[in-house]
Amino acid sequence: MANLLYPASTGHYVDDKFSALVEPNLFAGNVMQPGISYTDKYQVGPAGQIMVHKPGIATVSSTAPGADFTETVVGDSLITISLNKQYNRARKIYGATVASVAYGIAAAELELAVQEVRAAWNLDAVSAIVDADGIRVASNVTTVTNANGNDIYDTIVDARQALRALKANPDTIIVSPTTYGKLLKSDEFQRAVQIDNQVIRDAYVGRIAGLNVFEYESLSDAAGNLTNINGTTDDITWDATNYALEFIVYDHDALSIVTSVDVVGVFNGMPRYNGVVAEVEIVSGFKLTNASRAILKIHDNSATENLS
């Protein structure tokens, strides 16, 4: 880059100086929050995998008063949560660079490393829902809108209803930016503004139909990296051209995430090199422990598969 002349072409060269400010990079939001959009209740300490007992249940029928108990052994099953995902990032900084810049480069590099790992971690967490065995899939040819006919609010209520029919307790919805925009335009939220202007003022939805709403910019990537998505009758062979994952409704207590390693820091690079390194590493496991507690809403442009 050429030095600047004041005035141009006939004046004096001006000195260059770097700003102490740094232009931020863009990352998808951190949608995974413990106790809100997932559970970490199975976090029990160092382990390679965690085994969770799921007791069996049976139907109880009424009897005549005074009848004896019927003793029955009800078997259980095991759910395995494997800590099989490692995320690490090491951003190397030479000492000469640290001494030559006007901003806190080590802190900035560490923050970026955290965000890079967090982006991958969130994507795998959402993918664990999408790729769960036996997850319910609602698919239609017409995308959800904020108008009458295929109204987005009705579609979300239908998804919640489908899970409640299975006796699940859905409390969370993750939506794509497109779906979030339609939520902001929906008649239900326009009417809600009469009570609270927060929807229009802050573009914040918050809750709908008893569900906490999370906008996730990388929602499509959670499905785009998969080959098949399990449906109620057939598998969907994901087609990024014809399909769009519009939202996921689920019970946050059914999405379990456990983490056994958590290292974040800036470390001396000596004696390998003169400088420092910003390092982040975590090892986690993700599991949707009950597929009947989640449902996907997919927009199918091709109309070749129609699951419900």
Query: Can you list the pairs that 188-192 forms with residues at least 24 positions away whose Cβ atoms lie under 8 Å?
Result: 188/153
Residue 287 lies in a domain: yes
Question: What's the domain count of the chain?
Answer: 1
Task: Give strand ranges (E) for the chain.
Answer: 5-6, 12-13, 49-55, 76-82, 85-94, 136-140, 172-175, 207-208, 211-215, 228-230, 235-237, 243-250, 255-268, 275-288, 294-300
Residue 192 lies in a domain: yes
CA distance 28 to 177: 11
Helix (H) / strand (E) element for 156: namely: helix 152-165
Helix (H, G, I), strand (E, B) or coil at 161: helix
Structural domain of 253: 49-54+74-300
- Count Cβ neighbours within 10 Å for each residue of 151-160 and write b for 16 or more, e otherwise: bbbebbbebb
Residue 44 lies in a domain: no
Helix (H, G, I), strand (E, B) or coil at 165: helix
CA distance 67 to 166: 31
User: 158, 136 in Cβ contact below 8 A?
Assistant: no
Helix (H, G, I), strand (E, B) or coil at 24: coil
Please report where in the chains the tokens 């056994």 appear, as a residue. Answer: 260
CA distance 279 to 263: 7
Residue 41 lies in a domain: no
pLDDT at residue 175 in the model: 93
pLDDT at residue 163 in the model: 93
Residue 229 lies in a domain: yes
Residue 200 lies in a domain: yes
pLDDT at residue 29 in the model: 78
Residue 164 lies in a domain: yes
Residue 1 lies in a domain: no
Say which residues have a Cβ less than 8 Å from residue 129's Cβ, sequence separation at least 6: 135, 222, 248, 250, 255, 288, 294, 296
pLDDT at residue 22 in the model: 64
pLDDT at residue 105 in the model: 83
Say which residues have a Cβ less than 8 Å from residue 247's Cβ, sequence separation at least 6: 156, 159, 173, 174, 175, 176, 179, 219, 296, 297
Q: What is the pLDDT of residues 49-98, one digit of tens each?
A: 676 777 777 787 777 787 888 878 777 777 777 788 999 999 988 888 88
Side chain identity, residue 50: I
Low-confidence ranges of the chain (pLDDT < 70): 1-2, 6-7, 11-27, 44-49, 51, 140-150, 188-205, 225-237, 301-308
